[in-house]
Structure 1
Amino acid sequence: MPRPSRTSVPHATSGGRPAEPPPISADVDLRPFMATFPTGVAVVTSFDADHRPRGMTCTSLCSISVAPPCLLVSLRSASPTLSAIRDQGGFALNLLHDGAQATSNRFSSGDPERFESTEWELPVQARGPHLWADAHATADCALLSTTVIGDHTAVFAEVERVITRDLTPAPLLYGLRRYARWPLPADTPATGVPDVNR
């Protein structure tokens, strides 16, 4: 029995010949598309060169490796938080629970008093402020590298430790430009969950 070819399959054919790929439009607005992909909500925190706390809301994050434990967050390239992460060599990633909508809004705004109106702590060896009252889990991450892509920067980091808290308030979700509650009780076992790192 013949073995399948390992060559790439053309995305379309015309008369037996590979078709030309469609042109990429510079006018594509990705935001409506990504709005239909609900995600959790996090606040990335660090300290700048003067040891002032910096932080911003982030929904663009994913795990990229289990061994070693590494993740990626995408941050606006002009963000003072990104500059602080580079200064400090790391950050804390605070995953918000569904009672923390106000904190998410505060850290996505230009509010200069965001840390003054948010409860946080700095445990020993923390990479940034831990938002203990608003986060159900926090990861301290060491910066590995950054890659600028358009108006954002992909930040690659290795997770040094994870602190989990009571999950009675479920994770905060965001999609279709609005917040939502986790649809199932936190103690309901999940089935059929894909291994994204496989």
Structure 2
Amino acid sequence: MIAILGYGLGNVKAFANIYKGLNIPFCVAEDGAALAAADRIILPGVGSFDHAMIRLRSSGLFEPLEEAVIGKGKPVLGVCVGMQMLARSSEEGGEPGLGWIDGEVTRIRFPEDGPRGLLPHMGWSTITSRAEDPLLDGLDDALGFYFLHSYRFVCRDPAEVIATADYATPFHCAVRRGHIQGVQFHPEKSHHNGTRLLKNFAEN
């Protein structure tokens, strides 16, 4: 059973539609009991880092989520701001992150002597897999994924970076620390590649 965390942020319905189409059991978890019954968890997120962390902590799901992921070792996939929430902190605000993967979130900055871009980074970008990982199995890297963000996750341990992307400057777009995984892009908006990634998460 896949639990899509229902704390008021993220494209919950889009994730649900994909899993419904794949005939993979899922639920929208709005209480601790639903998280306790799940095998795997998706942590979606949109908007600002502080707003997402405050919503999570006020939802009544913060402690059950930590118990499920850290206490019970259930796999979790953070998506977009949900990936950023896995970090220790963010330049976007002052709230502490979950701290499950060692890293910080910083604003995308463009090199003074290099190509420039507009923020937010919005649209399709290719990715480069840096390691064989079951989450990325069978993906078309050249097809890429849909992104929408102005901040990026800076992972301190290079071994925990499983894919990168480039928007005038390279950035980490997929990370893993054991059963804790995160992607900066939106698989629920990324057609074939996104569906394959969500299927991989459910089955591996």
TM bin, normalised by shorter chain, reads under 0.3
Query: TM-score w.r.t. structure 1 length?
Result: 0.24
Comparing both structures, which one devotes a greater share of its residues to helix? 2
Q: Compare CA radii of gyration and give the structure with the larger one.
A: 1
